[in-house]
Amino acid sequence: MSVPTRWAAAAGGRAPLAAAQGHCAASEAVPVPVDLHLHTAHSDGRLAPAVVVEAAVARGLKTIAVVDHDVVSGLEEARAAGERLGVEVIAGVELTARWRGRTCHILGYGFDPATPRLHKTLAHGRAAAEAAVAAALDALRARGYDLSSADLARYHARYPTPTTLLLALVQRRLLRSRADLLAILPLLRASAQGMPAAEAIGLMHAAGGAAVLAHPGRRARGVALDRAAVAALAAAGLDGVEVVHPSHDGAQRAAFGDLADALGLVATGGSDWHGRPRDPLPGSLGVDGTRFARLRARIEQRRAAVS
């Protein structure tokens, strides 16, 4: 299916890594000037925040948001690098949340990273996630799997997750059969954490930021979020929907773009760059200045409401 014209500028897709190495002069035109979805080594990205900002500058981006998973610790370094290099860095975070029994991600933009309630909630969430993984590890050991917390340390930067456990099991060749996997999956699922989506939205608003539903079309356990889910979250105060994302095809971009318009939500987008060799590069996906202006206006409303 062809991509409707209004999303064509944002449909850059995967660019070869070579484009970022060597000849990504600032004059090279990126498909979009604003990339609102970049990760750093403070969560599961490969690169330090300052290096991510340098990459964005080299790609000619004007505005970016660093949105690490459930941490805001990389924002100060990113902000300082942005100031030094002349690119606007919006404070961001990607919160792990739950919606009707499934995991979803809520992006926060433009909040005050120093908000005490935000720090307290994130720290509490990390502690709960660590405790859940420790419990799953104990249960695995009770079943005879020879795995220690030291084995997990190789597979995570900040704190272990169910994915960390699975990676360690696979790498240590402890998963021998499909039956093994089926026995273990419920343990991993039980350890998945995250606050209710409405709580994540409220947390963002309390910190003076806008809340955006990340990649609703990306399948989790085979299911994407549908229109009814987005509408229900809009009723809970959601500000926007991530329309442009590597997991969305042209039809999904058009559908979620229309849905955002119909619900009065801001449409956002980004590359979800983690600094890995095959990732879509910064600025290969994102939004134009007009779309970003709407997000900025929404952030200003949220900020005014708490100050």
Residues that bind Zn ion (CB under 5 A): 94, 105, 214, 272
Query: What tokens were used for 188?
Result: 């991993």
Residues 6+ apart with CB under 8 A from 280: 12, 13, 14, 15, 246, 271, 272, 273
Q: Which is nearer to Zn ion, 214 or 265 (CB)?
A: 214
Q: Which is nearer to Zn ion, 214 or 267 (CB)?
A: 214
Q: Which is nearer to Zn ion, 140 or 225 (CB)?
A: 225
Return the CA Rg of the chain: 19
d(C-alpha 177, C-alpha 165), whole Å = 16
What are the backbone dihedrals phi and psi of residue 245, each rounded to the nearest 5 degrees, phi first? Answer: -155, 150
CA 168 vs CA 63, 69, 87, 112, 138: distances in Å: 37, 20, 38, 36, 14
CB of 139 to Zn ion, least distance (A): 27
Of all residues in this chain, which one has the CB nearest to Zn ion in the complex?
A: 105
CB of 97 to Zn ion, least distance (A): 10
CB of 150 to Zn ion, least distance (A): 28
Q: Which is nearer to Zn ion, 213 or 266 (CB)?
A: 213
Q: Which is nearer to Zn ion, 185 or 220 (CB)?
A: 220
Q: Which is nearer to Zn ion, 20 or 213 (CB)?
A: 213
CB of 169 to Zn ion, least distance (A): 23
CB of 229 to Zn ion, least distance (A): 15
Residues 6+ apart with CB under 8 A from 56: 35, 38, 64, 87, 282, 283
Q: Which is nearer to Zn ion, 41 or 137 (CB)?
A: 41
Q: Which is nearer to Zn ion, 105 or 296 (CB)?
A: 105
CB of 43 to Zn ion, least distance (A): 8
CB of 225 to Zn ion, least distance (A): 12
